[in-house]
Amino acid sequence: MDRRPGEDEALVAEAVAGDRAALGELLTRHEGRVRGLLVQMLGPRGRLDDLVQDVRLKAVRGFARFRGDAAFTTWLHRIAVNTAISELRRRRTDEALSDEPSGREPPPELAAERRELRERLADAVDRLPPLLAEAFRLRYHGGHGGLDSAEIGRRLHVPAATVRTRLFHARRRLREALDDLLS
């Protein structure tokens, strides 16, 4: 896509002035870069569409804090990097909670630790508001990747964007609830 010099800067100025359409245009223009960065950091597997949407949502929500000290692309790049880092942490946690991939039995102390962690996670999920808990359970059924946002949305009769928002809030609340356990 050919861009005129200064076109992004003009859109940034409009977005700073409160034009949400300008912000949407900026995010759409840079979606390919965001996607490429996420693939570079995480590989092509997994929840790439959900993560791109997460970056977009974080940018929209956080744009009021954009001061212009750095270029818009630098600011958006940082959001994408932080999202990728969070996804890597989530994957590590999922791997720790799942059974040994080789089929070997883990040492008894590790198996007991995993059982306790699963129980605490299940308790924390049970304490979530019902709409968040339901979306979380459908996405992370049994500690493994479950349904994608579109399928969950069909089952719950809500848009996929609503599902992604619920999952975002569920993960945030669970992270807060389990922070002392996982650190």
For the chain, 183 residues long, give each residue's pLDDT as a single digit of tens: 444 546 788 899 999 998 999 999 999 999 999 999 998 888 877 788 889 999 999 999 999 888 888 889 999 999 999 888 888 877 777 666 665 555 567 677 777 777 777 788 888 888 899 899 889 888 876 444 578 888 889 888 999 999 999 999 998 888 888 775 555
Q: How does DSSP classify residue 140?
A: S
- Determine the pLDDT at residue 143: 46
Q: What is the pLDDT of residues 40-76, one digit of tens each?
A: 888 877 788 889 999 999 999 999 888 888 889 999 9
Please name which of 181, 97, 169 lies closest in space to residue 135, comparing C-alpha atoms: 169
Residue 96's pLDDT is 61
- What integer pLDDT is reported at residue 177 of this predicted model? 80
pLDDT score, position 1: 41
φ, ψ at 18 (rounded to 5°): 105, 5
Tell me what pLDDT residue 67 has. 82
What pLDDT score was predicted for residue 77? 92
Q: Which domains does the chain have, with CATH numbers?
A: 7-90 (1.10.1740.10), 103-182 (1.10.10.10)
CA atoms within 13 A on the CB side of 42: 28
∠ Cα 46 36 39 (to 5°): 30
